């Protein structure tokens, strides 16, 4: 895939996203929710895990990242927009790759800024505990925060493509992340560590008793995302616009 043919497709997808208020709002909500809830958590009594205390808000920021990925794809299934997109970029794989890139890059950049902001705010909070995260842990957490949020946005994009419905994807992901994952974790113990959200968030902890480490946990989330994206790519190729 040459850059001279991919760049116009990516540019077109970026223009679409800039013109959708819902996209801009969802992207802006990522740092707002993450940093805001991390700061609120820091006002309470400090816990044993100073790193996770700083990144507590990621559990809420990920909902905004998911909304960003979902709305970017679901807009294509409204009013025949996908037909126009494929008329401009006939190769469906190229179009889907451009769409995913236009989703992933903004979330990654916003996620990096969010990660370092949450680290700064969480470390300075009066309830953050006596010991702030070490520099190495903080750098890992901020970087991992950005990668995790990006993976969740792309997972949502893949699932939305499979279901061809933003409402359907959100109806699956939001209850799962806010309710089901915690219930399964309490019941099944280590098996729940392989769920996409629990695995990816290991990198935000200074200590973890589960079966995965920080980077292996993020790799598990990446596998979930890759499966969703692969299923979405198959759906794009197999179904009419």
Q: How confident is the model at residue 39 (pLDDT cuts 50, 70, 90)?
A: confident
User: Global pTM?
Assistant: 0.89
Which positions ≥6 away from 132 have C-beta within 8 Å?
50, 123, 138
The pLDDT of residue 131 is: 55
Q: What is the pLDDT of residues 144-201, one digit of tens each?
A: 999 999 999 999 999 999 998 889 999 999 888 877 776 766 565 567 788 899 999 9
Domain ranges of the chain: 3-231
The token duo for 19 is: 């013109």
Q: pLDDT (tens digit, 9 = 90+) per residue, 93-144?
A: 888 999 999 999 999 999 999 999 998 887 766 554 445 667 888 899 999 9
Q: What is the pLDDT of residue 215?
A: 93
Residues 110 and 23 sit within 8 Å (Cβ to Cβ): no
Instruction: Name the pLDDT band for 43 (thresholds 50, 70, 90).
Output: low
Q: Which pLDDT band holds residue 33 (cuts at 50, 70, 90)?
A: very high
pLDDT of residue 208: 81
Backbone angles phi, psi at 205, to 5 degrees: -110, 145
Q: Give the relative orientation of helices 58-74 and 135-163 as an angle to the nearest 10 degrees.
A: 30
How does the average pLDDT of the chain come out, rounded? Answer: 85
Per-residue 3-state assignment (H helix, E strand, C coil) for the chain: CCHHHHHHHHHHHHHHHHCCHHHHHHHHHHHHHHHHHHHHHHCCCCCCCHHHHHCCCHHHHHHHHHHHHHHHHHHHHCCCHHHHHHHHCCCHHHHHHHHHHHHHHHHHHHHHHHHHHHHHHHHHCCCCCCCCCCHHHHHHHHHHHHHHHHHHHHHHHHHHHHHCCHHHHHHHHHHHHHHHHHHHHHHHHHHHHHCHHHHHHHHHCCCCCCCCCHHHHHHHHHHHHHHHHHHHHHHHHHCCC
Q: Which residue has the tokens 């499979």?
A: 162
Closest CA to 122 of 30, 216, 56, 202: 56
């Amino acid at each position: 895939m040459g850059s001279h043919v991919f760049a116009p497709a990516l540019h077109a997808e970026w223009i679409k996203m800039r013109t959708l208020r819902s996209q801009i709002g969802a992207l802006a909500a990522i740092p707002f929710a993450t940093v805001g809830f991390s700061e609120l958590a820091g006002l309470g009594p400090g816990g044993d895990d100073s790193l996770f205390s700083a990144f507590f808000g990621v559990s809420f920021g990920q909902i905004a990242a998911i909304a960003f990925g979902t709305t970017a794809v679901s807009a294509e299934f409204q009013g025949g927009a996908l037909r126009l997109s494929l008329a401009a970029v006939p190769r469906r794989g190229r179009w889907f790759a451009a769409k995913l890139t236009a989703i992933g890059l903004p979330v990654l950049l916003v996620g990096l800024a969010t990660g370092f902001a949450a680290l700064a705010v969480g470390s300075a909070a009066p309830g953050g505990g006596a010991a702030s995260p070490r520099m190495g842990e903080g750098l890992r957490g901020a970087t991992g925060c950005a990668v995790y949020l990006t993976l969740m946005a792309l997972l949502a994009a893949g699932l939305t493509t499979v279901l061809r419905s933003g409402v359907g994807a959100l109806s699956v992901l939001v209850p799962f992340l806010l309710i089901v994952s915690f219930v399964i974790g309490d019941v099944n113990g280590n098996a729940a560590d392989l769920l996409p959200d629990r695995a990816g968030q290991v990198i935000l902890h200074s200590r973890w008793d589960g079966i995965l480490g920080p980077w292996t946990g993020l790799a598990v989330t990446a596998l979930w995302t890759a499966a969703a994206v692969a299923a979405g790519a198959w759906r794009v190729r197999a179904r009419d616009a």
